[in-house]
C-alpha cells in the first residue's frame, strides 16, 4: 500500500515538473518569437510569480479549513488546463497578459497543495520528501531535452501542443492521488500569524525570497541569454538538463547529508555556491566548460536549498497550518522573490545586457547568506520547535 502511494505521488511530481521542464526553458523563447521585448517578456513571465503571492494562500486556507487537499488539486489542475487552451488564440501583449494571468492563478497553486499532501502522507509512512521530489526533477530533464530537439526540428510552436498534452495528463493523474489524514500537532493552538511573525520564520522567508530572486532571472532569461550568444535550442536544453541531473543526485543524497549537517549549514553553503554560480554565468557565458560547471551548482542553489527549506518550513508550520505554511513559503519565496527577479531581469537584460544582469543577480544570494546566517536559529532537536513560538 505504501509503495503504491509513493508511486502515485512520484508520478504526479514527474508530470507536474515535466510541464515545468517544457515551460520554463522555452516559453521565453516562444514569447521572443512573437517579437516581445525582454521587458515585456519579464512582465508576462512574472505573472506566474505574482499569482504565487496571492493564489496559493487562498487554496491553502481552503485545504486546511476543509481538511481536504486532493479535491482542490483536481480543481486547480482542471482550471489550469482550461486556461491554457486559450493560449492558442492569444496574440499581442494584452491578450497574452490576460490568458497567462488566468493560467497562472491556478497552476501556481497546484504545487503547494501537492507539497502539503505529500508531506502529510510521508509523516505517516516513513518516506523521505527528497526521494519523491527527485522524480519531479527527472520529469524536468526529460521534457527540457526532448523539447530542445523538437523545437529545433519542428519550430517553437510545437511547444504549445506539447504543453497542452502534459496539462491533460496532469489533470487525469490528479484523480489517482489519495487524500491524507492530518494528525494533530502542538502548533495547532497557535494562530497562523503567531507562527509567521517569529524572527526565525521571517529570516527563513526573506532568505528564501532573496535566493529565488536570483533564480527568477535564471528561469525567465537564461534560455534567451544563451540563444543570443549563439547556442542552439538543443544545447540550451542539454544545459538545463545538466543542472537538473545534478539536482537529482543531491535529492538522492539528502537523507545522508541532513544526517551529517544541520539544516542551517546546508542553507548557508547553498547560498554561498549560488553567489559563485550566478557570477560564473555572467562572466563565463562563452566558455562551455565553465557554463557546465555553473549549471552543476544547481544541485546546491536549488536542490539542497529547497529540500532544507521545506524541512524547516515543515517544522514551523504543521498540523492544521501545514497547507497554509507551504502556501506562505511559496508566496514569499517564489511569489515575491520570483517577481522581483523576473521583472528586474527583463529590464536588466534590455538595458544592461545579459552578462551584467547575471552578475548583479549574484548579489541577492549574498544578501540571503547574511540574513539566514545572522537571523535563523534552529533548535538542535529538529522536532522540538514549540518553544520558538512562545
Confidence of residue 269 (pLDDT cuts 50, 70, 90): very high
30-87, pLDDT tens digit by residue? 998 888 888 898 888 888 878 878 776 777 777 777 777 888 889 888 988 888 898 8
DSSP letters spanning 91-111: -SHHHHHHHHHHHHHHHHHHH
Task: Kindly state the cell numbers that stand for 23.
Answer: 515551460
Task: Kindly state the cell numbers that stand for 192.
Answer: 497562523
Are the C-beta atoms of 177 and 53 separated by less than 8 Å?
no
200-233, pLDDT tens digit by residue? 889 999 999 999 999 999 988 999 999 999 999 8
Homologous superfamily (CATH) for 2-389: MFS general substrate transporter like domains (1.20.1250.20)
Only one residue has cell 528561469, namely: 219
Task: Kindly state the cell numbers that stand for 367.
Answer: 544578501
φ, ψ (nearest 5 deg) of residue 350: -75, -35
Domain segments of the chain as ranges: 2-389
pLDDT at 334 exceeding the cut of 50 = yes
Is the full-model pTM beyond 0.85?
no
**Side-chain half-sphere CA neighbours of 215 within 13 A:** 30
pLDDT at 235 exceeding the cut of 90 = yes
pLDDT of residue 184: 54
Are the C-beta atoms of 103 and 80 separated by less than 8 Å?
yes
335-385, pLDDT tens digit by residue? 899 889 988 998 999 999 999 999 999 999 999 999 999 988 876 444 444
Cα distances (Å, whole numbers) of residue 214 to 53, 224, 229, 268, 333: 17, 16, 20, 15, 11
Helix 129-154 with 93-125: angle, nearest 10 deg? 150
φ, ψ (nearest 5 deg) of residue 185: -140, 155
CA distance 372 to 264: 8
Amino acid at each position: 500500500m505504501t509503495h503504491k502511494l509513493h508511486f502515485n505521488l512520484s508520478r504526479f511530481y514527474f508530470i507536474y515538473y515535466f510541464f515545468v521542464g517544457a515551460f520554463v526553458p522555452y516559453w521565453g523563447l516562444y514569447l521572443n518569437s512573437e517579437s516581445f521585448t525582454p521587458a515585456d517578456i519579464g512582465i508576462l513571465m512574472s505573472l506566474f510569480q505574482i499569482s504565487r503571492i496571492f493564489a496559493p494562500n487562498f487554496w491553502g486556507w481552503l485545504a486546511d479549513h476543509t481538511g481536504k487537499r486532493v479535491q482542490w488539486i483536481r480543481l486547480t489542475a482542471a482550471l489550469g488546463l482550461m486556461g491554457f487552451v486559450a493560449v492558442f488564440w492569444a496574440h499581442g501583449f494584452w491578450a497574452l497578459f490576460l490568458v497567462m494571468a488566468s493560467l497562472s492563478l491556478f497552476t501556481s497553486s497546484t504545487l503547494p497543495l501537492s507539497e502539503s499532501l505529500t508531506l502529510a502522507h510521508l509523516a505517516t509512512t516513513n518516506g523521505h520528501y527528497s526521494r519523491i521530489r527527485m522524480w519531479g526533477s527527472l520529469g524536468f530533464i526529460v521534457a527540457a531535452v526532448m523539447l530542445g530537439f523538437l523545437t529545433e526540428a519542428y519550430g517553437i510552436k510545437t511547444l504549445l501542443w506539447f504543453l497542452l498534452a502534459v496539462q491533460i495528463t496532469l489533470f487525469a493523474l490528479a484523480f489517482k492521488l489519495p487524500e491524507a489524514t492530518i494528525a494533530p500537532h502542538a502548533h495547532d493552538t497557535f494562530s497562523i500569524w503567531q507562527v509567521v511573525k517569529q524572527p526565525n520564520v521571517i529570516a527563513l522567508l526573506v532568505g528564501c525570497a532573496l535566493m529565488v530572486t536570483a533564480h527568477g532571472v535564471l528561469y525567465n532569461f537564461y534560455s534567451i541569454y544563451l540563444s543570443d550568444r549563439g547556442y542552439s535550442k538543443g544545447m540550451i536544453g542539454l544545459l538545463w538538463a545538466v543542472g537538473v541531473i545534478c539536482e537529482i543526485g543531491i535529492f538522492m543524497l539528502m537523507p545522508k547529508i541532513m544526517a551529517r549537517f544541520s539544516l542551517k549549514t546546508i542553507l548557508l553553503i547553498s547560498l554561498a555556491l549560488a553567489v559563485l554560480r550566478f557570477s560564473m554565468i555572467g562572466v563565463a557565458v562563452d566558455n562551455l566548460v565553465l557554463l557546465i560547471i555553473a549549471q552543476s551548482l544547481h544541485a546546491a542553489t536549488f536542490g539542497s536549498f529547497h529540500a532544507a527549506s521545506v524541512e524547516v518550513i515543515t517544522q514551523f508550520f504543521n498540523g492544521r497550518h501545514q497547507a497554509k505554511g507551504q502556501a506562505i513559503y511559496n508566496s514569499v519565496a517564489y511569489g515575491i522573490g520570483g517577481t522581483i527577479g523576473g521583472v528586474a531581469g527583463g529590464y536588466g537584460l534590455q538595458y544592461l545586457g545579459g552578462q551584467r544582469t547575471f552578475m548583479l543577480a549574484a548579489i541577492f544570494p549574498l544578501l540571503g547568506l547574511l540574513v539566514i546566517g545572522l537571523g535563523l536559529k534552529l533548535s538542535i532537536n529538529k522536532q522540538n520547535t514549540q518553544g520558538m513560538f512562545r
